[in-house]
Amino acid sequence: MSKGSPISPSLMASKSAGAPKAPERVERPADAGVDTAAVSPVLGPNNVVPPTVMTGSQAIVRALEELGVDDIFGLPGGAILPTYDPLMASRMNHVLVRHEQGAGHAAQGYAMVTGRVGVCIATSGPGATNLVTAIMDAHMDSVPIVAITGQVSSGVIGTDAFQEADIVGITMPITKHSFLVTDPNDIPHVMAEAFHLASTGRPGPVLVDVAKDAQQGQMTFSWPPKIDLPGYHPVVRGHNKQVREAARLIAAASKPVLYVGGGVVKAHASAELLELAELSGAPVVTTLMARGVFPDSHPQHVGMPGMHGTVSAVTALQQSDLLITLGARFDDRVTGVLKSFAPNAKVIHADIDPAEISKNRTADVPIVGSVKEIIPELSDALRALFAVSGTPDYTNWWAFLNNLKETYPLGWTEPDDGLSAPQRVIERIGALTGPEGVYVAGVGQHQMWASQFIKYERPHAWLNSGGAGTMGYAVPAAMGAKVGNPDRVVWAIDGDGCFQMTNQELATCAINKIPIKVAIINNSSLGMVRQWQTLFYEGRYSNTDLNTGHDTVRIPDFVKLADAYGCASFRCDRDEDIDATIQKALEINDRPVVIDFVVSPNSMVWPMVPAGVSNDQIQVARNMTPEWEEED
Ligand SMILES: Cc1ncc(C[n+]2csc(CCOP(=O)(O)OP(=O)(O)O)c2C)c(N)n1
Ligand SMILES: [Mg+2]
C-alpha cells in the first residue's frame, strides 16, 4: 500500500477538497458527513492569530488548540518536558497514561468513534518506541492519529545521546509521514500539515518529532499557517467514465456482490451505501473493518467474509460474477488463496488509495477517489441505466444465498466441560447493551466471536485491530473511545492474554473517571493459537496455557487485580449468572467495571477457512465442509 512508503513532503502539494470540517467539542452524529467544501486545508476554526513571540513548546500547544484538539493521551519525560509545561495551562484535556502504547491505542479509539484526529504524545527514546506498535496498527487500519514525540537537542542528534532513538527513521515505513522539527519556526506549519495528512486522502498516522532545543527556542507564531505539501493531491471524485462503466457492469451482472470494507466507515458513507445497496438490490458483505457500516439486520446483508466469515458471505464472493469493491483491499484474510478467490468475478474497485487498486487482484474497472463521492455517483449512473433497461433480476442469486443463510447460520456447540460457551457471553453483552453501544475487541478468538455474535447496526460501533492484530488493543482503545464518546456505553471485549498486555490503563480509567466496561473472555489460554494447535499440531499445546481460569492457580486473579485498580469487579462462571452480571455492569457508571467471564478453553471459532486453502474449503465445524448446490 502506498502509505507503506514514506511520502516526502517535497512531493506533496496542498489541497482544499476533502478536508474534514472543523472539529467541535460536541459528539458528532454516528455518520456525520465530511465537509469537502471547507475553505482552508488547515483543520480547526481557522482563528487568525497575529504574529506573537513565544517558545516552540508554547507553539506546539497553541497549534494543537488552534487545530481544534480537545483531548490528548500521553506520558512526559525529559525531551518533551518543555511542552508539558504550557500544556498545564491549556484548555485541552491531557490524559496521563501508564504506558505509551496505551496513549497510541487510545488516540486510535478516539479517532475511530469521533472521526477526528487522535493525538498522543511521548518523550524521546523508549517513550517514542513504546508508541511504535500503535502507530503501526493505525497505519494498517488507516486510522488518523498524530503522534508528537520529544527528541534530544538538535546539536546531539546522531551521537547516541541519552534517550536518543531515530524515531523518524523507525516510523517512516509505518506512517503517512514522519517530520523532524529542529527549528521552532517550523512548528505551526508542520503541525497543520501533520493534521492535514492524517485526516485527508487515505487516513493514517503522522509523527512529529521535535528536538528539545526547538521546543525551548523562541519563535514567532501566527495562524493559520500555509500548508505546503507539493505532490500531495488525494483524488476525491471518481472519474465519470469509470463510474459509468462500473454502472454498466452492475446492470449486466447476474451475481453481483457489494464487497464493503473499512474505507466506507472512514469516509462516513454508510447512508450513501444503503442507497446504492437498495437501488441495486445486490447482496452486501461487510469485512471485519466494516462491521456495522451496513446494518446486520438488513435483509441484503449476507455477513462477514473471510477466514472466520459466514458461509453465505464467503460463498457469495466465491461464486459472484461481479465484485463491487468499496474501500476494501483484498486482504489475505478475506481472499484466502488469492488465485482461487472469486474465480469468475469481474472486479470494480473503488478506493481513495491508488496503490490499493490491482495490488492483490486486478481490477476490471478501477475508480480512484473517496467512496463518499463515488457511491452516490454510482447510484446516479445506475438509476439512469435502470430507467432505460429496467432493474436487473437477481431472483436466482438471492434464492441461492438465502438458502445458504438459512442452512448455515452462525452458531456454536455447547462445551462438554460444564463451563460457559464464550459465544453466549458475548452474544448476551451485545443483546443487553444494544446497537448504540461501542464494542472494542482484543485479538484472538474473542475478537472473532465479538465480530460474529454482536449485532452491529451502525458504523463506528465496532473497533478492533484488523490489519495488525495487536493483542492489547482493547482496553486502551476503549478508553480513548469513551473519552471521545462519553455518553455511550463502551465495552472492551478482551481475552485473558490480551488483557495482560495493557491492563495498566485501568489505573488511567479509574483516576480520570473514564468508566469503560471490560469483559474478559477468560478461557485461560492464548485461545486462537491453541485453536490452531488443536487443528494443525495434533493438540500439542506448546506454551498457550495461561493459568488464569477454572481449576488453575489463577495468576493473576482478575477480580483482585481490577479491585486493586479501583474498578468494580465481578466473576461470572455460570450460564445462569451471565445476564445479571452484565446488568450489574451496565448500572455502574462512576468507575470502570471488569468482569472475569470464566469460559471453556475448548470452544473454537467456526466457520473457518484454514490458512493456505481456497475459500471453497470453508469448514462450518471441524472437517465439515458445506454441500455445495449450484443455483439453477
Ligand atoms: C502482540 C501480539 N503477540 C502475539 C500475537 C499472536 N496471537 C494472536 S491471537 C493470540 C491469543 C490471544 O489470546 P487471548 O487474548 O487470551 O484471546 P483468545 O484467543 O483466547 O480469545 C496470540 C498470542 C498477537 N496477535 N499479538
Ligand atoms: Mg484467552
Same domain, 159 and 283: no
Amino acid at 136: M
The arithmetic mean of pLDDT across residues 257-280, rounded, is 98
Whether 16 has a pLDDT exceeding 70, the answer reads: no
Question: In which band, very low, low, confident or very high, does the pLDDT at 623 lie, cut at 50, 70 and 90?
Answer: confident
Q: Is residue 162 packed enough to be buried (19+ CB in 10 Å), middle (13-18) or exposed (0-12)?
A: exposed
Distances (CA, A) of 220 to 2, 55, 193, 211: 35, 8, 18, 17
Residues 122 and 151: their CA atoms lie apart, in Å, by 10
Does 255 fall in a domain? yes
Same domain, 358 and 438: no
Residues 412 and 347: their CA atoms lie apart, in Å, by 34
Choosing from 361, 376, 407, the residue where a domain stops is: 407
Residue 444 Cα: closest atom of ligand 1? 19
Distances (CA, A) of 302 to 282, 398, 407, 605, 629: 10, 10, 13, 18, 17
Residue 133 Cα: closest atom of ligand 1? 1
Pocket test for ligand 1, best of 475, 502, 528 (most atoms within 8 A of CB): 528
What pLDDT score was predicted for residue 17?
32
Same domain, 269 and 355: yes
Residues 1 and 219: their CA atoms lie apart, in Å, by 38
CA nearest 34: which of 201, 195, 243?
Answer: 201
Give Cα 324 to chain centroid, integer Å. 22
CA of 161 to the centre of ligand 2 (A): 41
Which listed ligand is nearest to 495 at the C-alpha?
1
Question: In which band, very low, low, confident or very high, does the pLDDT at 625 lie, cut at 50, 70 and 90?
Answer: confident
Same domain, 377 and 514: no
Question: Which residues are the active-site residues?
Answer: 100, 162-163, 212, 528
Which listed ligand is nearest to 422 at the C-alpha?
1
Pocket test for ligand 1, best of 526, 532, 596 (most atoms within 8 A of CB): 526
**Range with the lowest mean pLDDT among 7-11, 90-94, 148-152, 552-556?**
7-11
CA nearest 497: which of 479, 475, 464, 466?
Answer: 475
Residue given cell 478492533 in the structure block: 464
The per-residue pLDDT of the chain, averaged, comes to: 93
Distances (CA, A) of 598 to 69, 420, 426: 40, 7, 12
Q: Which residues contact 149 (CB under 8 A, 6 or more apart)?
A: 79, 80, 121, 122, 123, 124, 127, 128, 131, 167, 207, 208, 209, 210
Whether 357 has a pLDDT exceeding 50, the answer reads: yes
Same domain, 337 and 254: yes
Question: In which band, very low, low, confident or very high, does the pLDDT at 46 lie, cut at 50, 70 and 90?
Answer: confident
Which listed ligand is nearest to 442 at the C-alpha?
1
What pLDDT score was predicted for residue 1?
39
For ligand 1, atom 20, the nearest C-alpha belongs to 527
What residues does ligand 1 touch, defined as CB less than 6 Å away?
442-446, 469-471, 495-498, 521, 523, 525-529
The arithmetic mean of pLDDT across residues 472-484, rounded, is 99
What pLDDT score was predicted for residue 628?
61
Residues 299 and 311: their CA atoms lie apart, in Å, by 16
Question: In which band, very low, low, confident or very high, does the pLDDT at 75 lie, cut at 50, 70 and 90?
Answer: very high
For ligand 1, atom 8, the nearest C-alpha belongs to 444
Same domain, 441 and 370: no
Whether 28 has a pLDDT exceeding 90, the answer reads: no
Residues 368 and 379: their CA atoms lie apart, in Å, by 16
**385, 248 in Cβ contact below 8 A?**
yes
Same domain, 134 and 180: yes
Residue 601 Cα: closest atom of ligand 1? 20
CATH number of domain containing 354: 3.40.50.1220
Same domain, 214 and 259: no
pLDDT digits (tens, 9 = 90+) for 577-620: 999 999 999 999 999 999 999 999 999 999 999 888 899 999 99
Amino acid at 570: F
Same domain, 22 and 169: yes
The arithmetic mean of pLDDT across residues 264-279, rounded, is 98
Does 359 fall in a domain? yes
CA of 499 to the centre of ligand 1 (A): 10
CA of 584 to the centre of ligand 2 (A): 23
Q: Is residue 53 packed enough to be buried (19+ CB in 10 Å), middle (13-18) or exposed (0-12)?
A: exposed
Pocket test for ligand 1, best of 471, 529, 541 (most atoms within 8 A of CB): 471
The C-alpha cell of 40 is what? 482552508
Residue 494 Cα: closest atom of ligand 1? 15
Give Cα 461 to chain centroid, integer Å. 11
CA of 480 to the centre of ligand 2 (A): 23
Amino acid at 349: H
* Percent of residues, the chain, with pLDDT higher than 90: 91
pLDDT digits (tens, 9 = 90+) for 315-334: 999 999 999 999 999 999 99
CATH number of domain containing 156: 3.40.50.970
Same domain, 90 and 128: yes
Whether 22 has a pLDDT exceeding 70, the answer reads: no
Residue 449 Cα: closest atom of ligand 1? 21
Residue 499 Cα: closest atom of ligand 1? 15
β 49-55/218-223 pair status: antiparallel
Domain hosting residue 523, numbered range: 422-598
CA nearest 276: which of 262, 258, 298?
Answer: 258
Does 544 fall in a domain? yes
* Percent of residues, the chain, with pLDDT higher than 70: 93
Which listed ligand is nearest to 494 at the C-alpha?
1
Pocket test for ligand 1, best of 440, 443, 464, 524 (most atoms within 8 A of CB): 443
Same domain, 385 and 508: no
Residues making up the chain, counted from first to last: 632
For ligand 1, atom 5, the nearest C-alpha belongs to 471
Same domain, 320 and 394: yes
Of 32 and 487, the one with more pLDDT: 487
Does 625 fall in a domain? no
Domains in the chain, number: 3
CA of 446 to the centre of ligand 1 (A): 10
Whether 449 has a pLDDT exceeding 60, the answer reads: yes
Sheet holding 145-151, edge to edge: 93-96, 71-74, 118-122, 145-151, 205-211, 177-181
**Range with the lowest mean pLDDT among 65-69, 269-273, 283-287, 619-623?**
619-623
CA of 465 to the centre of ligand 2 (A): 16
CA of 498 to the centre of ligand 2 (A): 8
The arithmetic mean of pLDDT across residues 487-508, rounded, is 98
Residue given cell 466507515 in the structure block: 265
pLDDT digits (tens, 9 = 90+) for 395-433: 999 999 999 999 999 999 999 999 999 999 999 999 999
